[in-house]
Structure 1
Amino acid sequence: MNAPARPPPHFPSRRGSGFLASFGHAWAGLIHTVVHQRNMRVHLVSAVLVGLVGSGIPLGLAEKVTLIFCVLLIFFAEILNSALEHLVDLAVNHFDEKARLTKDAAAAGVLVLALGTVVIFAAILVHNWETVRTSTDAIVRQVALGLPLTACVLVLVLPQPRPAWVDVLAFLGGCGLLAVLAQRSASLVFSAMTAGLLFVAGSSAWTRRREARSTAPPAGDSPVNGHEKAG
């Protein structure tokens, strides 16, 4: 005798269904990926470096569009890869070779895009080498201010526990450095992209801290206290 068909699972609806609510859900997915995926953090820091190069060296419109599109495409691929990993983990409760191959194939897609972006980035620099060679002052400025800015973003996305004032100082320091760089920017589009990446890094630091607070045991619930109560 065939077993009765199992009713489809019921998932609770999300709060809000308008445009702003949908944007909030998408933003939450982006920040969740930055918080919980190491490769996404690497892509975020790399994108900041691309933004610093694009805002320091004058590039043509086609080259700007190409670099920005490559950054966005890698972000899209990494987010999609993260979603696929969660879906596979949800559907498979034990080790399965096909599940492993599915994850490996998705990760390979991100790797191919990342390698392609590196090649495109190098080709653009080589094609504009004369411009790069004559932009010594801009390069020195971008290195002197851009490396500390990148360090601020790196601090914000690191998963290691740290005092709250470190995140606040890193975010405010990054904003100050970006404001100085924007005054001599060769492309406000790349400066705006870098500002957006800094905001994403700051949001991920705040989200990680909020998640840590929500999962931390209440005060007084240490293993010793719990043993004493049980006894």
Structure 2
Amino acid sequence: MNKFLKSFGYSFSGIAYAFKMEWNFRFHLIALLLVILAGWFFELSLNDWLWISAAGGIVITAELFNTAIEVLVDLVSPEIHPKAKIVKDVASAAVLVSAITAFVIGLIIFIPKILMYAA
């Protein structure tokens, strides 16, 4: 059980590292916080919250994987190498695709609510 509890400490250390070292991670956390506040304001349905939670979780997870990949590539290939660049670019692209998908989900959920509120 002690080993199990220690694993949470390692996980939180990883989150803390990403928060401290990665501007994009902080940006996505702030964006997620704003979406949560907007969801609270517009009183989202359970179904909407499920979509927001899934999209936000996927973006944050992609950011964490991207950070891990970048650190690993820097460790195994400290010199500039074309394949190392490709690995980093593809990991970054995964974050971009997940963020665009989350943005579209947000538009689908929030635009009708904003239009209804404005009317």
Q: Compute the TM-score of the two structures, normalised by the length of structure 2.
A: 0.92
Task: Indicate if the aligned counterparts of 1:57 and 1:131 stay in contact, CA closer than 8 A.
Answer: no
1:21 aligns with 2:21: no
Q: Which residue of 2 aligns with 1:95?
A: 80
Task: Indicate if the aligned counterparts of 2:77 and 2:84 stay in contact, CA closer than 8 A.
Answer: yes
Task: Indicate if the aligned counterparts of 2:42 and 2:113 stay in contact, CA closer than 8 A.
Answer: no
3-state SS in 1 of match to 2:80:
coil
Higher mean Cα deviation, 112-121 or 26-35? 112-121
Q: Which residue of 2 aligns with 1:133?
A: 118
Match of 1:57 among 42, 57, 60: 42
- What runs of 5+ residues in structure 1 fail to find an aligned partner? 1-15, 135-231
* Residue 126 (structure 1) shift: 2.3
Q: Which residue of 2 aligns with 1:109?
A: 94
- What runs of 5+ residues in structure 2 fail to find an aligned partner? none
What is the alpha-carbon distance in structure 2 between the residues aligned to residue 98 and residue 78 of structure 1? 20
Aligned residue pairs: how many? 119
Identity, in percent, stands at 32
* Residue 32 (structure 1) shift: 0.6
1:79 aligns with 2:38: no
Task: Indicate if the aligned counterparts of 1:81 and 1:106 stay in contact, CA closer than 8 A.
Answer: yes
Match of 2:33 among 43, 48, 54: 48
* Residue 17 (structure 1) shift: 5.7
What is the alpha-carbon distance in structure 2 between the residues aligned to residue 96 and residue 62 of structure 1? 45
Q: Which residue of 2 aligns with 1:69?
A: 54
* Residue 69 (structure 1) shift: 1.1
Between structures 1 and 2, the one with greater helix share: 2
* Residue 68 (structure 1) shift: 1.2
RMSD: 1.7
Bigger radius of gyration among the two: 1
* Residue 118 (structure 1) shift: 1.1
Task: Indicate if the aligned counterparts of 1:70 and 1:117 stay in contact, CA closer than 8 A.
Answer: yes
What is the alpha-carbon distance in structure 1 between the residues aligned to residue 70 and residue 39 of structure 2? 33
Q: Compute the TM-score of the two structures, normalised by the length of structure 1.
A: 0.49
What is the alpha-carbon distance in structure 2 between the residues aligned to residue 85 and residue 17 of structure 1? 30
